[in-house]
Chains A and B, each alone.
Chain A
Amino acid sequence: MVAGSIAWGLLVVQPDRLMGETVRILFVHVPSAWLGMGGWTGIAISSAALLIWKHPLAGLSARAIAVPGMVFTAVCLATGSIWGRPTWGTWWEWDGRLTSMLVLLFLYGGYIALAQATAREGGSPKIPAILGIIGAIIVPIINRSVVWWNSLHQPPSLTAGKSSIDPEYLWPLLISTLGFSLLFGAIVLMRMRALIAEQQVEARLRRRALDDDISQDNVTGVTPSSMETA
């Protein structure tokens, strides 16, 4: 689906009247932006599930989403920068949309570092979950940034039920967004499987260490009752 929509966008669609051939970057830039923001929304939902319902998989799913979310955000910024050079005449502009997207990238970096440190040091998974929920404030800011602040970036082209995009570009865009979303889901599932397997290995190692301690205590004659009297 991704390959087909990209081939469609690169080889079939006509150049745009204003943007020329660079309009083809649309089919990779927009899905990346959507998944960068969608990724953090997923982290926020998983974090809420962890804090409210204490679901055992919620913390893992948030951790599994973070890295692909960060990569898609970085791809969005990189492809946007490349697109900006021929259309705006600059690689970067500190306007609302670009800056808020950069903040999202840093938030992902902070979340990944915090989640890894918490897991390594045996801390509570609630700590990164709180960051996941507080950080979600950036998603509506990114979404509304082109409306709130005077920006080089174009205003929203796709809103609920409405589109100002020509159907020639809209259909390959929707298909590429769906394809990239499925790819994102597959990556998250792979990372979740890895995290679950790692946790099972750690649990087994802990259990073995505990069994070894108990058997050693039995050999040396140390029992819970003898420890109490000591």
Chain B
Amino acid sequence: MREALDHWPFVVGAYAVAGAALGFLIAWSYQTMRKAEKRREEMKRK
């Protein structure tokens, strides 16, 4: 008899991929924004 495929590793894998990609995107975008705005403020002060 063929054993049924466990679906949970696929569900967890899909959420892990999505979470990692979106977490990286949010952190990168926030960091880029803060850096650019900090550089602009420094330029204004000079």
Q: A interface vs B, CB < 8 Å? A: 6, 10, 15, 20-22, 24-25, 28-29, 32, 67-68, 71, 74-75, 78-79, 82-83, 85-86, 183, 187, 190-191, 193-195, 197-198, 200-201, 204-205
Query: Interface code B1-29, partner A: CB below 8 Å = 1, 0 otherwise?
Result: 00001011011011101100110011001
How long is the Cα–Cα vector from A83 to B14 in the complex, in angstroms?
A: 8
Residues of B within 8 A of A79 (CB): 14, 17-18
Q: Which of A28, A29, A183 has the most CB of B within 10 A?
A: A28
B11 touches A193 (CB 8 A): no
| Contact flag A187-B14 (CB < 8 Å), given A71-B21, A193-B37, A204-B43 | no
The secondary structure that dominates the B interface is helix
Residues of B within 8 A of A205 (CB): 43
A197 touches B33 (CB 8 A): yes
B13 touches A82 (CB 8 A): yes
A201 touches B40 (CB 8 A): yes
| Contact flag A187-B36 (CB < 8 Å), given A82-B17, A83-B10, A83-B14 | no
A25 touches B39 (CB 8 A): no
Residues of A within 8 A of B40 (CB): 197, 200-201, 204
A28 touches B33 (CB 8 A): no
B21 → chain A closest CB, angstroms: 5
A209 → chain B closest CB, angstroms: 13
Residues of B within 8 A of A194 (CB): 29, 32-33, 35-37
In the complex, which residue of chain B has the Cβ closest to the Cβ of A195? Answer: B36
Residues of A within 8 A of B7 (CB): 15, 20-22, 86
**Which of A29, A75, A83, A187 makes the CB contact (< 8 A) with B29?**
A187
